[in-house]
Amino acid sequence: MRCLPIIIYEKKGFRLKTGMIISIAKTSESNSSLCQCQQCKKSGVHSSTSGKIFVLTSSTVVYDDNEAEKSCFNLFYDSHSNEAYNLYGSRVSERNVNEGWCIVECATCDSILLDKLDTTIKHCSIAMADFNKVIPREQTMFVCIVSHPHDFPKQITMGATKIRECFGSKVYTDFTRYTYTNTTCHGSAGAFVYIHGVSDISAKQFHVHLGVTRARHNYCNIGKENKIQ
């Protein structure tokens, strides 16, 4: 599964956390507007090519528009030899404190980056959907977390669910929180938690890693998922 983990750097507290790019939006020629990315603002010359990149993380990582503007997202930090691509936040697009997630909007005029991310996100969504279908969903589910522990390059940890808590439901949807066996650290906060048979980015069915309980159980936010049939 291809995904785009990032490190979030917020000047006020030097918070080094993790997130994931879940969607992009390209500005069409018929609805063009000048780019508002940090580079264009500094130079005073605004590109006519513009787009938006949306980053999913925990609501405890980025609190408001002020923090979003001061946040730097390092893309493609896969190894120490990789040169990370810096992307800067513009504003908080959505923030759900009850469910524990936040989506930060970033502006860019880099059309090559937008195309690359668009292709990668589509591959990720297809692979996730295929994997969910191929292997039957069981009571104990496979969990994968991609994050940047201790400010290190991308790390992938595998585990399984331990406890599933349900916090109410609608006709087709449950609101759940999980604990799991994956190895994590403070830098993993905000990372997308792939739970087999549950996660679906396109339907905003996602869980993000929050931390560790006093009982030393890793846990995520309260997220949405399809009801078990």
Q: Are 159 and 146 in contact (CB under 8 A)?
A: no
pLDDT band at 3 (very low <50, low <70, confident <90, very high): very low
User: Rounded to whole angstroms, how far apart are CA atoms 101 and 113?
Assistant: 25
Higher-pLDDT residue of 149 and 223 is 223
With a cut of 70, say whether residue 1 has pLDDT above it. no
Query: How far lies 5's CA from each of 134, 173, 226, 229, in Å?
Result: 25, 27, 25, 32
With a cut of 80, say whether residue 60 has pLDDT above it. yes
Q: How much is the pLDDT for 157?
A: 92
Residue type, 62: V
User: Rounded to whole angstroms, how far apart are CA atoms 25 and 180?
Assistant: 33
pLDDT band at 2 (very low <50, low <70, confident <90, very high): very low
With a cut of 60, say whether residue 6 has pLDDT above it. no
Q: How much is the pLDDT for 187?
A: 83
Q: Could you count the other beta carbons within 10 Å of the beta carbon of residue 102?
A: 27
Pull the structure tokens for residue 57. 């993380």
With a cut of 90, say whether residue 125 has pLDDT above it. no
